[in-house]
Amino acid sequence: MPTEPCPFCDLARVELIAEAGPCAAIWTNEPPAGSLMVIPKAHRETAWDLTPEEWSVTRDLLHEMMRRVGQSHQPDGWNIGWNVGEVGGQSVLHAHCHLVPRYRDERHAGKGLRWWFKQPDNASLQARGAATPARPLPPVP
């Protein structure tokens, strides 16, 4: 059980941009300018725990926020993503989808999420030095 209260469960503690049904959009207050997150109002640890309605409203809020941030900040591109679990980069165990505007004059403009993960210094110890073949998926029940 967490020792500190979840920072996303109390909407009075965050900089709220918009609300729609079971979800809200909040500013990250981190660069690049216009970065935000869409979160479920109910505490859900990961994206996999969202209800069908929360998934649908998240999509709608992301679209609306993209439109609004697009008008106000005029970015040249976007990244959208979920960090899931500690190894996946999730620092707050309350599901949150990042909407990150990208700008042509950024140092890493044109480099997407996959580029970061594919850097040689990011290879796992198991995979360093050799490509690891994909593991077969179990059959669908």
pLDDT, residue 126, reads 54
Tokens of 98: 């990042």
- pLDDT above 80 for 2: no
pLDDT, residue 1, reads 46
Residue 127 lies in a domain: no
Residue 128 lies in a domain: no
pLDDT, residue 17, reads 95
For 76-111, letters b (16+ CB in 10 Å) and e give eeeeeebbeeeeeebeeebbbbbbbbbeeeeeeeee
For residues 126 and 29, the model is more confident at: 29
Residue 3 lies in a domain: no
Residue 139 lies in a domain: no
Residue 15 lies in a domain: yes
The answer to whether the bond into 120 is cis (omega within 30° of 0) is no
- pLDDT above 60 for 78: yes
Q: Domain containing 69 — which CATH number? A: 3.30.428.10
pLDDT tens sequence across 40-72: 999 999 999 999 999 999 999 999 999 999 999
Number of separate domains in the chain: 1
- pLDDT above 80 for 123: no
Structural domain including 84 reads 11-110
Q: How far apart, in whole angstroms, are the C-alpha atoms of residue 70 and residue 65?
A: 8
